[in-house]
């Protein structure tokens, strides 16, 4: 769990930013609230916090959805990683993760997001993308290690096309969900607390399995410790154009 001090400090920083950028009138984007990490992927910096990414096996910066992003490469096991932190844990606090993905080949069932090591028995969540157009799956691990809750969604991924993918863990309404292009989320019942493990937060790969990295370009990855409203998600998707931090 995040300490109360960390949470209060983050809220104060976000409120100060919103005031400074609204002429003192209290405006600013609500998308800054409980935003714990945001990766514009011009580089490995975290624009909203201190969770800097490390490029594993030197992924390449390329033109992407908004300016630049990273080419994730399965053949060379190239992907991105941030150190384990409570900000990324399932736990008992709502979680939303959103990202843009552009497949570069029709690979099947590879890791878009990962905090998961099956071999070590240390599993929290895993998002696998089915580039063949079948079911993509979000797995969330129960805190008592009694199993996973999964949600499947058929997303017709096409090579060379951008997709906005969102996963949510909603502790208030007891659901997990998976959505693409703001088209309507698919849900599964989640009436439990999530596991808080020690695996890193990984984008486009998995430290335990070199064969499941994506072949894709990724961009604009955001992590919130709350549920976003429908209007906020519509704003982020922006009719397929996307927006970037600070919104």
The 10s digit of each residue's pLDDT in 19-62 is 444 444 445 799 999 999 999 999 999 999 999 999 999 999 99
Please state, in angstroms and rounded to a whole number, the distance separating the CA atoms of residues 204 and 59: 10
The 10s digit of each residue's pLDDT in 183-232 is 999 999 998 999 999 999 999 999 888 778 899 999 999 999 999 999 99
Tell me if the pTM is above 0.75.
yes
Helix or strand (DSSP H, E) at 112: strand 110-117
**Side-chain half-sphere of 97: how many Cα atoms within 13 Å?**
23
The 10s digit of each residue's pLDDT in 152-172 is 999 888 899 999 999 999 999
Residue 82 and residue 54 in contact, taking contact as beta carbons nearer than 8 Å: yes
The Cα-based distances of 63 to 53, 70, 217 in angstroms read 19, 8, 9
């Amino acid at each position: 769990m995040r300490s109360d001090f960390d949470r209060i400090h983050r809220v104060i920083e976000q409120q100060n930013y919103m005031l400074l950028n609204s002429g003192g009138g209290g405006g600013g984007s609500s998308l800054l609230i409980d935003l714990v990490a945001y990766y514009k992927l011009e580089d490995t910096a975290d624009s909203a916090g201190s969770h800097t990414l490390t490029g594993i096996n030197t992924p390449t910066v390329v033109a992407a959805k908004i300016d630049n992003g990273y080419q994730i490469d399965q053949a060379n096991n190239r992907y991105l990683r941030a150190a384990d932190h409570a900000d990324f844990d399932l736990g008992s606090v709502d979680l939303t993760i959103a990202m843009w993905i552009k497949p570069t080949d029709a690979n099947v069932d590879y890791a878009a997001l990962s905090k998961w090591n099956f071999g070590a028995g240390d599993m929290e969540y895993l998002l696998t993308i089915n580039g063949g157009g079948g079911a993509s799956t979000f797995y969330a691990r129960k805190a008592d290690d009694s199993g996973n809750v999964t949600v499947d969604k058929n997303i017709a991924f096409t090579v060379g096309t951008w997709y906005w993918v969102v996963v949510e863990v909603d502790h208030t309404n007891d659901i997990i969900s998976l959505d693409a292009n703001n088209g309507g989320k698919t849900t599964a019942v989640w009436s439990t607390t999530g596991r808080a493990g020690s695996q890193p937060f990984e984008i486009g790969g998995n430290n335990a399995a070199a064969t499941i990295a994506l072949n894709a370009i990724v961009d604009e990855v955001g992590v919130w410790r709350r549920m976003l409203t429908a209007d906020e998600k519509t704003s982020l998707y922006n009719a397929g154009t996307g927006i970037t931090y600070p919104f």
